[in-house]
Structure formats: structure tokens, C-alpha cells
Amino acid sequence: MVDLTEEERAAITATMQRVALLMDEIGWATPLSELTEAQVRALIEEAVEGFREAMSDIAWVQTAEVPF
């Protein structure tokens, strides 16, 4: 079991929304065994990119300076 941080959990939630949009295009009723290589690759890329972007956004918010 992986101990996820609060930030990682938030990033996963944000990523789920992106993956869900792609699944809407593919079709939720499509069995995993019937996905093409391109579809699997697209899902993985969307998940990785979504997680990376969400973690970056979270880090930026946490370290952003307040302009005084």
C-alpha cells in the first residue's frame, strides 16, 4: 500500500476528471481487453500528464509569493 500525501490525493482527483473525458470518447462500456494500443497509450498519457500538471499547480499555489 502506498502512503499518498494530501497533495497527491488531490492530484489524482484532478486526473480522474481528465481520464473520464477521454473515457467518454472511447466509451465506458468498452472492455479493457478491446481497447486498442493507441487508446491504452492515450489513457496512460492523459493520466501521467494530468497528475504531473496537477502536482505542479499544487506546488505553485503552496509556494506562490504574496505581492506586497
Cell 509556494 sits at which residue? 63
Task: Encode pLDDT of 20-66 as tens digits.
Answer: 999 999 999 999 999 999 999 999 999 999 999 999 999 888 886 66
- Cβ atoms within 10 A of the Cβ of 24, count? 9
Q: How far is CA 43 from CA 19, 49, 56, 67, in A?
A: 6, 10, 20, 39
Map out the domains of the chain as residue ranges.
Answer: 6-63
Q: 30: which residues sit within 8 A by CB, 6+ positions away?
A: none
Q: Whole-prediction pTM value? A: 0.79
